[in-house]
């Protein structure tokens, strides 16, 4: 999610781009949902069904989904749907009762983490998980200061929205939130690892000058809203050391890069050779079912746990546990992490090869099936051209997004079963559109 309106536009009913039926639907939406909601694309898409990596419109048009990490193992995966249906027809209750399902899921999930990250707390959304992490960090450190990147997205609660400058100018950083530049070579020309760590230390010093004690450094480990900055591997470790040196904690937000998407590792933070104090998860965790969580070191939760009773009515319910376990099983059995690595590498190489014939394709930044592709005009990043590409790809039945503070990069983040044939379709379509532009 970014400030840009490339995909998230305020469509005006009556603009004349839709069928009469969809025009009527747009009018109903505007009346019922109000002005804060947005629709994707200049001409919105009316979807009625999803299967695998495809979405289907009311008129039967098939769209290739290059954007939705929510349906991480594919839209409406039959094993996930069956697990949901079976558990929902048996028992749907919460963590205040003993239940095998939530313990089985917790144990399977924690087995995917390094030793030391051995507790998990369940929520319904990534926003809730990050909000809970902030509460825990404050209890553990006695501080309140939070460091984020300056176009981050971490949620929609009051606290997490104040840590999410990408939402838009209506949301300002909270008084204890200290943004720092994203880890790009442009922002840190003398070295990303040392520069980003120095920015963390500087933010802590600015806090101290205001009488604020650091509590937390939170980063999306793929920096997706900042423009997708996965490399160089290892650059996050000095930043984590820097916040800990000042008494704060490091939270890896894995809502977008987690669950095998980066290919080489199951979690984005593992690419950097570090162990966070906390790890938040969401979206792909339930393949569309609302579930999220926070994994922690025992010492991180000790102070909070001794004084606070945590409860979430729906977080960790029996249906969520069944769904989450099915998602993990599908990722393992269908080798989706390995698929993300191989197909992502082919996608990245394909974009770089295409750039040899199109000057408008700039830097390709990628880790597995998470890719940022800068779009240029005369050698400079061009948000307007990026927006045109996003909308023209939609018109050619490829659903994609943009990212970065100016919206000048394509954001490519398809479901994990994406195939080499799907990559060829995207590259062929992109080549055709770029030739026309």
Q: Is residue 1 in some structural domain?
A: no
| pLDDT single digits (tens) 139-159 | 999 999 999 999 999 999 999
Last residue of a domain, one of 281, 312, 333: 333
* C-alpha neighbours within 13 Å on the C-beta side of residue 149: 31
Residue 5's pLDDT band (cuts 50, 70, 90): very low
Is residue 226 pLDDT above 80, yes or no? yes
How high is the pLDDT of residue 21?
A: 79
Q: Is residue 108 in some structural domain?
A: yes
Kindly state whether residues 265 and 328 are assigned to the same domain. Answer: yes
* CA distance linking residue 175 with residue 264, whole number of Å: 38
Kindly state whether residues 304 and 259 are assigned to the same domain. Answer: yes
DSSP string, 97-162: S--HHHHHHHHHHHTTS-TT--EEEEESSHHHHHHHHHHHHHHHHS--EEEEETT----SSHHHHT
Residue 16's pLDDT band (cuts 50, 70, 90): low
* CA distance linking residue 71 with residue 415, whole number of Å: 6
Is residue 176 pLDDT above 70, yes or no? yes
Average pLDDT over residues 338-345: 98
Average pLDDT over residues 4-28: 67
Above pLDDT 90, what percent of the chain?
85
How high is the pLDDT of residue 247?
A: 98
pTM (2 d.p.): 0.94
Q: Is residue 2 in some structural domain?
A: no
- 371-377/361-366 β-pairing: antiparallel
Is residue 125 pLDDT above 70, yes or no? yes
Is residue 288 pLDDT above 60, yes or no? yes
Contact 321, 289 (CB under 8 A): no
Ranking 48-52, 173-177, 322-326, 421-425 by mean pLDDT, the lowest is 173-177
Average pLDDT over residues 343-366: 98
Average pLDDT over residues 50-56: 98
Residue 31's pLDDT band (cuts 50, 70, 90): confident
DSSP state at residue 229 = -
| pLDDT single digits (tens) 401-432 | 999 999 999 999 999 999 999 999 999 999 99
| pLDDT single digits (tens) 103-114 | 999 999 999 999
Kindly state whether residues 147 and 249 are assigned to the same domain. Answer: yes
Kindly state whether residues 118 and 217 are assigned to the same domain. Answer: yes
Distances (CA, A) of 209 to 213, 214, 242: 10, 12, 17
Q: Is residue 3 in some structural domain?
A: no
* C-alpha neighbours within 13 Å on the C-beta side of residue 136: 30
| pLDDT single digits (tens) 357-384 | 999 999 999 999 999 999 999 999 999 9
* Straight-line distance from the first to the last Cα atom of the chain, in angstroms, rounded to the nearest whole number: 26
- Residue 90: which CATH number? 3.40.640.10
Tally of structural domains, the chain: 2
The residue range of the domain holding 418 is 8-73+335-436
Kindly state whether residues 225 and 114 are assigned to the same domain. Answer: yes
Q: Is residue 302 in some structural domain?
A: yes
Closest CA to 154 of 272, 280, 296: 280
Residue 118's pLDDT band (cuts 50, 70, 90): very high
Q: Which residues have CB under 8 Å from 244's CB, separation 6+?
A: 250
How high is the pLDDT of residue 22?
A: 80
Is residue 228 pLDDT above 80, yes or no? yes
| pLDDT single digits (tens) 58-84 | 889 999 999 999 999 999 999 999 999
Above pLDDT 70, what percent of the chain?
95
Is residue 217 pLDDT above 50, yes or no? yes
* CA distance linking residue 413 with residue 388, whole number of Å: 19
Kindly state whether residues 297 and 340 are assigned to the same domain. Answer: no
How high is the pLDDT of residue 317?
A: 96
Closest CA to 283 of 145, 124, 414, 402: 124
Residue 170's pLDDT band (cuts 50, 70, 90): low
Kindly state whether residues 215 and 241 are assigned to the same domain. Answer: yes
Question: How high does pLDDT run on average in the chain?
Answer: 94
Residue 15's pLDDT band (cuts 50, 70, 90): low
Kindly state whether residues 245 and 315 are assigned to the same domain. Answer: yes
How high is the pLDDT of residue 4?
A: 44
How high is the pLDDT of residue 12?
A: 62
Before 232, cis peptide (omega within 30)?
Answer: yes
> CA 129, 134, 136 angle in degrees (round to 5)?
95
User: How far is residue 129 CA from its own chain's centroid?
Assistant: 13
Kindly state whether residues 255 and 121 are assigned to the same domain. Answer: yes
- Residue 14: which CATH number? 3.90.1150.10
């Amino acid at each position: 999610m970014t400030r840009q309106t490339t995909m998230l536009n305020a469509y005006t009913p009556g603009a004349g781009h839709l069928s009469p039926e969809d025009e009527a639907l747009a009018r109903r939406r505007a009346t019922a949902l109000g002005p804060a909601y947005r629709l994707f694309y200049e001409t919105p898409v009316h979807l009625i069904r999803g299967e695998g990596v495809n979405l289907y419109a009311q008129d039967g048009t098939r769209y290739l989904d290059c954007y939705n990490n929510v349906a991480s193992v594919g839209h409406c995966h039959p094993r996930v749907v069956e697990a949901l249906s079976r558990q929902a027809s048996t028992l749907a209750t919460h963590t205040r009762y003993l239940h095998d399902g939530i313990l089985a899921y917790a144990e399977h999930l924690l087995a995917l983490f390094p030793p030391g990250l051995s507790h998990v707390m369940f929520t319904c959304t990534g926003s809730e998980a990050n909000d809970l992490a902030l509460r825990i960090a404050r209890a553990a450190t006695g501080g309140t200061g939070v460091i984020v990147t300056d176009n981050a997205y971490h949620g929609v609660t009051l606290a997490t929205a104040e840590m999410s400058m990408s939402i838009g100018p209506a949301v300002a950083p909270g008084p204890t939130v200290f943004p720092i530049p994203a880890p790009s070579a442009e922002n840190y020309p003398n070295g990303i690892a040392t520069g980003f760590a120095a920015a963390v230390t500087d933010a802590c010093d600015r806090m101290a000058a205001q009488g604020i004690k650091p509590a937390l450094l939170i980063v999306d480990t793929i920096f997706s809203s900042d423009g997708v900055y996965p490399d160089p591997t290892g650059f996050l470790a000095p930043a984590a050391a820097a916040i800990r040196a000042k008494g704060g904690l490091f939270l890896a937000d894995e809502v977008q890069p987690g669950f095998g998407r980066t290919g080489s590792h199951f979690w984005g933070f593992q690419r950097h050779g570090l162990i966070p104090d906390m790890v938040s998860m969401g979206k792909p965790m339930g393949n569309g079912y609302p579930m999220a969580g926070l994994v922690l070191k025992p010492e991180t939760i000790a102070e909070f746990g001794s004084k606070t009773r945590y409860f979430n009515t729906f977080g960790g319910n029996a249906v969520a546990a069944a769904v989450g376990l099915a998602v993990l099983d599908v990722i393992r059995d269908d080798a989706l992490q390995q698929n993300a690595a191989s197909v992502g590498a082919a996608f990245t190489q394909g974009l770089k090869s295409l750039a040899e014939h199109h000057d408008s394709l700039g830097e390709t930044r990628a880790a597995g099936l998470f890719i940022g592709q800068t779009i240029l005009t005369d050698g400079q990043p061009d948000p307007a051209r990026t927006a045109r590409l996003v909308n023209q790809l939609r018109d050619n039945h490829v659903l994609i997004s943009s990212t970065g503070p100016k919206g000048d990069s394509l954001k490519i983040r398809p479901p994990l079963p994406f195939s080499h044939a799907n990559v060829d379709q995207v590259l062929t379509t992109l080549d055709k559109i770029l030739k026309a532009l």
